[in-house]
Amino acid sequence: MENIVILGAQWGDEGKGKVIDIFARKADYIVRYQGGNNAGHTVVIGEDEFILHLIPSGILHKKKICIIANGVVVDPKALLEEVEMLKARGISVNKRLFISADAHVIFPYHKLLDELKEEKRRKIGTTKRGIGPCYADKVARSGIRVADLLDEITLKEKLQANLEEKNEILSKIYGRKGFLFDELYGEYRMYAGRIGKYVTNTTVMLNNAIAKRKKVLFEGAQGTLLDVDHGTYPFVTSSNSTAGGASTGTGVGPTKIGKVIGVVKAYTTRVGEGPFPTEFTRDLMETIRRKGKEFGATTGRPRRCGWFDSVIVKHSVMVNGIDEIVVTKLDVLDDLESIKICTAYKFGGRTYTDFPSSIRVLTGCEPVYEDLPGWKEDTTRVTSYARLPRGAKNYLKRIQALLNTRIVLISVGSDRKQTFSKEV
């Protein structure tokens, strides 16, 4: 296996957790390179379901090394809760989980500011986990890193300076009470004592591993259309969820990454606010949402659902350099008489076949559809591409042709076993 990046090629929630879990079997190291506990990866193993927000999905495989790299923002409370959840279910992270000393730390003031900004401004649909404000501090060079958390003198100096600024913002702009230094300092020194054993220079660790020909899987969070540079800005996350983020978020150079695999649903979903050209009508929305169990793993919010949008996925293929595609949740479309694929947008007398930057265009455009017949057969028990109904094969072939990228894996259910290779 090459060193590969696996990421979402839509608005997130594409089923990356399951795909990463499958590829993790052949990897030695599994690395989260961006985002925070605003992401949720779900893995179903038999009757057991695991939802992970910070720790890479590869932790479910024995002897795999899992890394939370420098590009991730870490809420230590959430991290420790996840560690305890895994321990309670018989999975130890000791000597298998490592955290970058350069990762930035989320504090309660980040979460409160996230919530207050969401109430005050035009809604973005944030999870209110403090992700954006933490990244903002990082860019403003006032953030507190894990390395700072472990150094009581540095933590004291930085936390005092940050609280002076944050409390003034909370008081003067939002009319809210600020945070007490002693309480926060004590709480976070306790976290430092508990997570210190996991902390190391993960950049050196990863590059040394690659030099020894170990195989690394880079685990993306969210999806391409939520990337802060290449997504539906401002309705995006605060990090680079595209493949380029794997290098900046880990310190592993791009020449050491061999392949990028994009994960897509057989339809499209997004959580929160923002444009969604192919969104279903209400009745179909409820049908697909119920069958696909389309509720956020992190927030429980119902996901918005729509037809497959080849315009956004072609954009993802381009900006990520995607080599191969995995299609998930094909089975959710089993009962439909006909299925649409969006191939372009129309707005203001113009046809767009490339993803437009304008939110006004994306919000007001009319999608151009191709109609394909459905297959009206249960695919959840299908174990090979050859046994798929003809209509399902034709649907996948058309997606592959539109994306000009090879489909290599198909999922027809949530269990590990409900996945098979596509034989072209």
User: What would the mean pLDDT of 373-400 be, rounded to a whole number?
Assistant: 96
Mean pLDDT of all residues in 134-152: 97
Give the model confidence (pLDDT) of 73-110 as tens digits: 999 999 999 999 999 999 999 999 999 999 999 999 99
For 294, the 3-state DSSP assignment is coil
Question: Prior bond to 373 cis, omega within 30?
Answer: no
List every span in the chain annotated with CATH 3.40.440.10: 4-100+199-260
Q: Does position 351 have pLDDT exceeding 70, yes or no? A: yes
Average pLDDT over residues 412-417: 87
pLDDT of 299: 67
Is residue 278 pLDDT above 50, yes or no?
yes
Architecture of domain 104-195 in CATH? Orthogonal Bundle (1.10)
Calculated CA dihedral for residues 352, 357, 362, 368, nearest 10 degrees:
20
Entry pTM: 0.93
CATH superfamily of the domain spanning 263-421: Adenylosuccinate Synthetase, subunit A, domain 3 (3.90.170.10)
Of 18-27, 181-190, 383-392, which range is least confident? 18-27
The single residue of 13, 75, 114, 227 carrying the catalytic annotation is 13
Q: Quick one: tokens of 298?
A: 């992190």
Residue range(s) in the chain whose domain bears CATH number 3.90.170.10: 263-421
**Section 35-48 average pLDDT:** 76
pLDDT at residue 424 tops 50: no
User: Under CATH, which number does the domain 4-100+199-260 receive?
Assistant: 3.40.440.10
Mean pLDDT of all residues in 181-188: 97
d(CA 260, CA 393): 24
Q: Which amino acid is at 55?
A: I
Pairing of the two strands 304-306 and 268-270: antiparallel
53 an active-site residue? no
CB atoms closer than 10 angstroms to residue 293: 11
pLDDT above 80 for 126 = no
Give the residue with greater pLDDT, 343 vs 128. 343
Over residues 275-286, the mean pLDDT reads 95
- Between 48 and 259, whose confidence is greater? 259
Domain ranges in the chain with CATH number 1.10.300.10: 104-195
Question: What is the structure's pLDDT at 422?
Answer: 78
- Measuring CA to CA, which residue among 82, 56, 83 is closest to residue 68? 56
Amino acid letter for position 12: G
Q: Which helix (H) or strand (E) holds 51?
A: strand 48-52
Identify the active-site residue in 41, 53, 230, 315.
41
Catalytic residue flag (residue 104): no
